[in-house]
Amino acid sequence: AGGGAAGGGRSLPAAAAFTLLLSLGASTPGLLRDGPGPRSAASLRPDELRAGEVHRLVTYIFIYEDLISLICGAIIIWYFAGSFEKNVGTVKHCFLTIAFAILSALLYLLLGTIVSRVSEVEDAKGFMPVAFATLGVSTTRSRVKRALVLGVRVPVVLVPWLMLCIAWFIPHSSLLSNLCGLLAGIAYGLGYCFCLDFPESVGCKLDRVFPFSLLKRIPGLKYIPSSSAERRAFESS
């Protein structure tokens, strides 16, 4: 993966860049539409899922309905998805992004039926639930005891919950879907979703097949290999 993993120190990891591109492609038509239009055909909504539109279990993470949300989503993808991909490799990042999207969606749909009886539930959309899942994994498995948040040192296990409160103020952000993403990430980080893991050797084989072999060849993107030894060598260089 030597040449394929090469790239500028500040270039965006390949899968994170692809996620950002999909978000732009899926959201731009709605942003360009004059006046209120029909709700997105890709957002997560129970009625359509019951009608067989199961693609919504994944596609909702690419949907933004206004420019501010899209900008916030791009920053979140750059920071959280990019950092997570550097830690686990491009292949595993892609797999876990889909897995976290589905787990968060199922949990959201389950809890949404209960919460909706006492309060209005915001539609789940955007990458933030997956970002909270990756944050849950990172803080659960972190060896660091304390982290700096807004100039204050707090126990690292509290960081996701503080971020959850901050995310509440982002326009059109669904508190319930973010919470579901965080719970899915914590469960994975604690080892309760071990079925989602696969051997490093499998990831190394997938590095050489389509579409990952294609991602390696795209100039300006940084492909992160599945081999932990290669990742360490790449970071040290």
Residues 6+ apart with CB under 8 A from 92: 198, 203, 226
Report the CATH number that the domain containing residue 145 is assigned in CATH: 1.20.1540
Flag whether 160 is in a domain.
Answer: yes
Q: What pLDDT, on the 0 to 100 scale, is given for residue 121? A: 74
Pick from 192, 174, 194: nearest CA to 128:
174
The model's confidence at residue 231, banded by pLDDT at 50, 70 and 90, is confident
Residue 136 token pair: 């849950």
Flag whether 135 is in a domain.
Answer: yes
DSSP-derived 3-state class of residue 54: coil
The model's confidence at residue 61, banded by pLDDT at 50, 70 and 90, is very high
Flag whether 195 is in a domain.
Answer: yes
Average pLDDT, the chain: 84
The number of domains in the chain is 1
User: Is it the case that residue 199 has pLDDT exceeding 60?
Assistant: yes
Flag whether 99 is in a domain.
Answer: yes
Residue 97: which domain range? Answer: 14-29+53-226
Flag whether 154 is in a domain.
Answer: yes
Do the beta carbons of residue 188 and residue 136 sit within 8 Å? yes
* Tens-digit pLDDT profile for residues 131-173: 999 999 999 988 888 877 767 788 888 888 988 988 888 877 8
* Tens-digit pLDDT profile for residues 98-141: 999 999 999 999 998 888 776 677 788 899 999 999 999 999 98
User: Could you tell me what percent of the chain has a pLDDT over 70?
Assistant: 88
Do the beta carbons of residue 62 and residue 100 sit within 8 Å? no
User: Is it the case that residue 186 has pLDDT exceeding 90?
Assistant: yes
Chain centre to alpha carbon of residue 156: 20
Flag whether 68 is in a domain.
Answer: yes
Flag whether 66 is in a domain.
Answer: yes
Mean pLDDT of 28-54: 69
Flag whether 9 is in a domain.
Answer: no
Q: What pLDDT, on the 0 to 100 scale, is given for residue 183? A: 95
